[in-house]
Chain A
Amino acid sequence: MAVIQFTLNGKAQSIDVDPEMPLLWAIRNTVGLKGTKYGCGMAMCGACTVHFNGQPTRSCSLPMSAVAGSSITTIEGISEDTTHAVQRAWIEEQVAQCGYCQSGQIMSAVALLKNNPNPSDADIDAAMAGNICRCGTYPRIRSAIKKAAQLTASAAK
């Protein structure tokens, strides 16, 4: 066990955990934020995507030893009231079905739009190909990302 300090959704965290424990389980079971999901445990499905120092990262494969001193953002940290442009677009386009993978999808989409405010279909496919959705919401994910880009652009005007 080791005391590991990091920033979680803008607040200082200090938890005593096995340094080998993946960030996913620390967030879910130690801190108790359950919005980030377990899907595959080997960074193949993206359900556990969080932002690690701003970069979309699979938390199931990131040991806590690597998290010390970093800044982590989870789905709970992107807005207080589901008003992030990506979340609004997700609801407008009625993306989710079962919803289990959507936290990860949204975290990948937020990161994409931060780097590329006006992504093409090819950009979207490239940035989102690491996130599996077994319900098959991909066509709506594509339109929601474009809608979020519009919402962000019109808010900036």
Chain B
Amino acid sequence: MYLKIEAPQRSISKEAVKVWRITETLENAGILAVLGILYYLHMRFEWKEWIGWIILGLLILTVLNAIWEILFEPTLKQKYWRYDVDEEFIQLKHGALKEVNELIPMTKVQSVELNQGPFLRKYGLYSIQIGTMGTEHAIPAIPEKEAFELRDQIAHYAKIKEVE
């Protein structure tokens, strides 16, 4: 009597793309700045040659990574993010290159939390953090009204605990 698994349907806000672009830009700029300073120090104090190569290598990798993370990844990530919540399970499906499917029984959910950083606030979004006995999961960008509803829903379902 196998049930067919319904792939999760609900997607996250399109605005997530913009938020990610901003945060990724800031993050990568930070890493570039640190590497830049290191490279400057390397030239200034004449550190060993191979250190310079490693810094240069990391710089190139960061630039390539930044192009991917700022220009391409946000759209793909948003496009593929899916989640669903019912009485029994929370289902998450995400990943641009690697498809990740997660299945979390409601009875194992320990906490639900809404988070909003400055950029999410700008677009009226929240991220939902779900804590289980083992790990933390986050659904990244959900419009305010939906987010509050979802939180209450999870909190309601999660009240039921298993006999261990």
Q: Do A and B bind each other?
A: no
Write the residues of chain A forming the contact surface with B, with a CB cutoff of 8 angstroms.
Answer: none
